[in-house]
């Protein structure tokens, strides 16, 4: 590892001021190595340091999900035998459709949730005639 030397006139300073001085000496971004201060390894290249942390967190998340889904691990507050139920016992089928064209805004569902089609795609992707599209049920009050 190379020894890092800072000019003597820098002294002790806040990290923000140190970064500003560093940027003043590298205005064209010709030096691209970013360093991180690791408690275990000292000053190390930032990219490798955080990649290890990210990989460790992803491995931990994968282990947790696998163990929760297989029943090897239970969350606090969930004890006793699991009861197997039919999803259909909790869902109500709703078959109401739109009767007039453009009667309601068109929604789309994605992994992130339900969105207005125009906001999600930034354009209309449904057909020009949306009669007979399924309509979500009205909220129950």
Written as tens digits, the pLDDT of the chain (141 aa) is: 556 666 666 565 566 676 677 667 767 777 777 777 777 777 777 777 677 888 899 999 999 999 988 888 888 888 778 788 898 898 888 888 889 988 888 888 888 898 888 888 877 788 888 888 888 787 776
- pTM passes above 0.85: no
Cβ proximity of 102 and 131 under 8 Å: no
Residue 64 lies in domain: 8-69
What local confidence, expressed as pLDDT, does residue 64 receive? 93
79 is a domain residue: no
10 Å CB burial of residue 108 (0-12, 13-18, 19+) is middle
| Residues 20 and 62 grouped into a single domain | yes
* In a shared domain, residues 28 and 60: yes
Domain count, the chain: 2
Is 112 domain-assigned?
A: yes
Q: Kindly state whether residue 28 falls inside one of the protein's structural domains.
A: yes
Residues 62 and 19 in one domain: yes
Do 64 and 117 share a structural domain?
no
* H-state helical runs in 1-141: 15-24, 46-69, 117-121
């Amino acid at each position: 590892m190379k020894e890092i030397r800072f000019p003597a006139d820098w002294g002790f300073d806040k990290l923000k001021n140190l970064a500003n001085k560093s940027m003043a000496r590298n205005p064209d971004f010709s030096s691209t190595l970013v360093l991180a201060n690791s408690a275990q390894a000292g000053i190390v290249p930032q990219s490798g340091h955080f990649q290890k942390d990210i990989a460790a967190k992803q491995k931990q998340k994968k282990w947790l999900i696998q163990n929760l889904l297989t029943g090897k691990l239970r969350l606090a507050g969930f004890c006793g035998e699991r009861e197997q139920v039919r999803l259909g016992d909790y869902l109500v089928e709703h078959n109401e459709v739109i009767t007039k064209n453009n009667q309601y805004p068109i929604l789309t569902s994605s992994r992130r949730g339900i969105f207005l089609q125009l906001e999600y795609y930034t354009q209309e992707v449904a057909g020009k005639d949306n009669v007979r599209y399924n309509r979500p049920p009205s909220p129950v009050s």
